Amino acid sequence: MKTNNPKTINEHFDLKYGKVGTATRTDFEQNAEIYLIAELVREKRKEAKMTQQQLADKLNVKRTYISKIERAVGDIRISTLRRIVEEGLGGTLQINVKL
């Protein structure tokens, strides 16, 4: 039974983006993951008291590239994310894959 007054976040997502496994829900979930990565990069850069320019200089990329990543514009390659996390921010990138 469909309800217009969802009681959980998953019910809300089901109503707004479709059930898990549908194309619209998958698209939403992928965009949410990209946004989460963007927010984590921005937060950790600020915690390190670095500007976008300082991080870009450290990685030998343009500041606008860091800005695009932090705004979740487009996709980010895993190799690029690894460089940002490890070389730029001094962290460790761990990826968990479930099949």
Q: Is position 73 within any domain?
A: yes
Q: Is position 31 within any domain?
A: yes
Mind listing the pLDDT tens digit for each residue in 64-88? 999 999 999 988 899 999 999 999 9
Token couple for 93: 């990138």
Token couple for 1: 């039974």
Position 3 scores a pLDDT of 55
Q: Is position 41 within any domain?
A: yes
CA distances from 66 to 26, 39, 59, 79, 87 (A): 26, 12, 10, 14, 14
Q: Is position 2 within any domain?
A: no
6-10, 61-65, 94-98 — which is least confidently predicted?
6-10
Q: Is position 94 within any domain?
A: no
Mind listing the pLDDT tens digit for each residue in 41-60? 999 999 999 999 999 999 99
Domain count, the chain: 1
Q: Is position 93 within any domain?
A: no
Position 6 scores a pLDDT of 81
Can you tell me the distance from the alpha carbon of 66 to that of 80, in angstroms, rounded to the nearest whole number? 10
Position 44 scores a pLDDT of 97
Q: Is position 97 within any domain?
A: no
- For residue 68, the enclosing domain spans 9-88
Q: Is position 51 within any domain?
A: yes
Across the chain, what does the average pLDDT equal? 92
Can you tell me the distance from the alpha carbon of 93 to that of 61, in angstroms, rounded to the nearest whole number? 19
Residue 72 sits in a domain whose CATH number is 1.10.260
